[in-house]
A = this chain, B = another copy of it.
Amino acid sequence: MHKEHTLTKNQQIIFDLIDKSPEPMKAYSILFNVQKKGIKAPLQVYRALDKLVEIGKIHKIESRNAFIACHNSSCQVANATAFSICEVCEKVTEISSVGLSKYLANFKDKDGMKYSKYNLEFFGLCKKCR
Binding site for B on A (CB under 8 A): 62-63, 84, 87, 93, 95, 97, 100, 103-104, 107, 109-111, 113-127
B62 A84 Cβ-Cβ under 8 A: no
Q: Judge whether B109 and A95 touch: CB under 8 Å.
A: yes
Contact of A118 among B97, B109, B121 (CB under 8 A): B121
* In-complex Cβ contact of A84 among B115, B122, B126 (8 A): B115
A103-B103, A118-B122 given. 16 additional CB < 8 A pairs? Answer: A62-B63, A62-B121, A93-B109, A97-B107, A97-B110, A104-B120, A109-B122, A111-B127, A113-B127, A115-B123, A116-B124, A117-B122, A117-B124, A118-B121, A118-B123, A119-B120
A118 engages B120 (CB within 8 Å): yes
Contact B126 A113 (CB under 8 A): yes
| A127 CB to nearest B CB, Å | 7
